[in-house]
Amino acid sequence: MQKKINVTCSSMPDFFEYCEEIKDIWDSRWLTNMGPKHTKLQTELATYLNVPNVTLYTNGHLALEYALELFQFPRGSEVITTPFTFVSTTNSIVRCGLEPVFCDINPVDYTLDANKLESLISDKTVAIMPVHVYGNVCNVEKIEEIAAKYSLKVIYDAAHAFGVTYKGKSVAQFGDLSMFSFHATKVFNTIEGGALCYHNSSYTQQLNDRKNFGIHGQDKVEYIGGNAKMNEFQAAMGLCNLRYIDAEIAKRKAAVLCYMDRLKDTDGLQLNPVQDGVISNYAYFPVVFDAQYFGASRDEIKDVLAEHGIVARKYFYPLTNSIDCFHGKYIPQETTPEALRISNSVLTLPLYADIPIDIVNRICDIILSCKK
Ligand SMILES: *Cc1c(COP(=O)(O)O)cnc(C)c1O
């Protein structure tokens, strides 16, 4: 029985390197609450991501919620976002008592279609939450222009975009805040983890207080905060993984170039080339199957791969404006037809730093053998 090939495989440092990194925790007995490893990782990430401020969280989802909470928007205020994302993006908005307003995506890089943004703005709109989906950079110029015109906050879900640059600028520099996820499956991981990156240093104190129950100093509880602190073992994993991040991205790139080379110029397949001006992190390899031209549908390809022990995933299906918990409140057919079309035909192929090139070739052989 051949080993199953999963859609992803977590990057991990050498076992003994991690042991070495956590060793002094047994001396200090400081396991969490902004310890020395937490502080060190924060500083190293600010350098790597080239942003003045980084606040760490126990996961990326809570980082999104705390970003929204920072502005204390009135309940029921509207946040314009994309339905073509992981459910976390939309859930963060709803869980903060806000109303998601879904903007369609552009069918080329699958990010929020900024040309459709302005018509969705109402007098209840307070913010935009776009997603750099698959690590593709949103139309940051247009989004910034519209946000400035209507005084809206911009919070980027940059969960997929760790290390990406656009026109020489770190993707972490756009918007009021950007959220990165350091979940095990992401390009850079701290087991579970996340961060907010931002220019405005006046956010720091409040973000730090709110993730620690709202406690400010010894005897003062300033905010109705929660608990979203990153612990020292997570930070230690981050410190180790950060040493190898550029090499890990280079290995992903080699796998992507192989996929690209094998699948390009195939009728009925839409690939995800690196955008102009972007240095990619090669986070995902999505392929959109046009069944009419390719001769097999996304679901058929997924099943054939599964028969060969290869797990590809329908990222992102279903759209977050058609998930069960909203009970048909939003209508993707009418409001986000491009997102609906892509969601119904996209398949994300296995991609991780250590994927062997012969496996990539085997996956391509299987897919191309389905072409009619
Ligand atoms: C992973 C992810 C999140 C959530 O991050 P966690 O660290 O898993 O909480 C949010 N948005 C997107 C687009 C993601 O892929």
pLDDT digits (tens, 9 = 90+) for 264-313: 999 999 999 999 999 999 999 999 999 999 999 999 999 999 999 999 99
Q: Residue of the nearest CA to atom 2 in ligand 1?
A: 159
Q: Which residue among 157, 320, 348 is best mutated to probe the pocket of ligand 1, counting the most ligand atoms within 8 A of its Cβ?
A: 157
Separation between Cα atoms, residue 114 and residue 333, nearest integer Å: 19
Find where tokens 């579970």 sit: 192
Please tell me the distance between residue 227's alpha carbon and the centre of ligand 1 in angstroms.
18
Q: Is 194 helix (H, G, I), strand (E, B) or coil?
A: strand
Per-residue pLDDT, 3: 83
Average pLDDT over residues 22-40: 97
pLDDT higher than 60, residue 193: yes
Q: For 161, list phi and psi in degrees, rounded to 5.
A: -110, 25
Kindly report the average pLDDT of the chain as a whole number.
Answer: 97
Separation between Cα atoms, residue 4 and residue 74, nearest integer Å: 48
Q: Which residue among 7, 10, 59, 61 is best mutated to probe the pocket of ligand 1, counting the most ligand atoms within 8 A of its Cβ?
A: 61
Percentage of the chain with pLDDT > 70?
99
Instruction: Tell me the pLDDT band of 334, cut-offs 50, 70 and 90.
Output: confident
Q: Which residue among 64, 65, 86 is best mutated to probe the pocket of ligand 1, counting the most ligand atoms within 8 A of its Cβ?
A: 86
Which of 332 and 45 is assigned the larger pLDDT? Answer: 45
Taking the CA of residue 85 as reference, the ligand 1 atom at the shortest distance is: 13
The tokens describing 107, both together, are 């069918």
Taking the CA of residue 131 as reference, the ligand 1 atom at the shortest distance is: 13
Q: Which residues contact 124 (CB under 8 A, 6 or more apart)?
A: 76, 77, 78, 99
Find where tokens 């991780």 sit: 352
Taking the CA of residue 181 as reference, the ligand 1 atom at the shortest distance is: 7
Separation between Cα atoms, residue 203 and residue 147, nearest integer Å: 19
In this structure, the residues whose C-beta lies within 6 A of any atom of ligand 1 are: 59-61, 85-86, 88-89, 131, 157, 159-160, 181, 183, 194
Average pLDDT over residues 20-45: 97
Per-residue pLDDT, 333: 85
Q: What pLDDT, in 10s, does the model give residues 214-267?
A: 999 889 999 999 999 999 999 999 999 999 999 999 999 999 999 999 999 999
- Torsion, CA 161, CA 158, CA 275, CA 47, rounded to 10: -50
Angle at 48 between CA 157 and CA 54, to 5 degrees: 55
Taking the CA of residue 60 as reference, the ligand 1 atom at the shortest distance is: 7
Q: Which residue among 183, 230, 284, 343 is best mutated to probe the pocket of ligand 1, counting the most ligand atoms within 8 A of its Cβ?
A: 183
Q: In 3D, which of 204, 201, 227 has the Cα closest to residue 214?
A: 227
Please state whether the predicted TM-score (pTM) of the whole model is above 0.85.
yes
The tokens describing 84, both together, are 């073509």
Please tell me the distance between residue 8's alpha carbon and the centre of ligand 1 in angstroms.
15
